[in-house]
Amino acid sequence: MNAITTKTVTTADTGETIDGVTVLGDYHMNGGYDWMELIGEHGWAVIPSWGSDGWDLGQWPYVMVAGIRTADAIGNLFGIATYCEGDVTCNYYRTKSRFWDAISEQAFFHWKTEQAQGPADLPEAAAELPSRYRIPYAVPAA
């Protein structure tokens, strides 16, 4: 599979079939920073931090989580891609809440396995994460 393709996908939350969506695939040509630059040219952005205090989301340049918001004739579409040393998975969601859940699950996995700096008081399962760990990080106003 090419690193970037346009294809038909099925949304992970609603099961809808959507044609002509940009999908990220495996990228073993160069390193993670090159992948980050390449996907940026197609509207994707790597998400550096997650949760109320901005804990690490991944371990750059080896593990990264990227997202995109796009739309079709029905409404918004939210894509998430995970990059792990060139192996990439990509899913789309119709709802922002399910998209945030998917990112939170990735964050939890990396925090729990100590592959990324995260909160010290993690629960046993991602589904038990408090709401403050399940939201995008917002830089405080100066």
Map out the domains of the chain as residue ranges.
4-133
pTM for this predicted structure: 0.94
Residue 107 clears pLDDT 90, i.e. is over it: yes
Q: How far apart are CA 92 and CA 72, in angstroms?
A: 12
Mean pLDDT taken over the chain: 95
Residue 130 clears pLDDT 80, i.e. is over it: yes
pLDDT value for 141: 77
Structure tokens at 137: 């990080």
Residue 36 clears pLDDT 90, i.e. is over it: yes
Residue 13 clears pLDDT 90, i.e. is over it: yes
Residue 127 clears pLDDT 70, i.e. is over it: yes
DSSP string, 3-72: SEEEEEEE-TTT--EEEEEEEE----SS-HHHHHHHHHTTT-EE--EETTTTEE-EETTTEEEEEEEEE-
Q: How far apart are CA 120 and CA 124, in angstroms?
A: 12
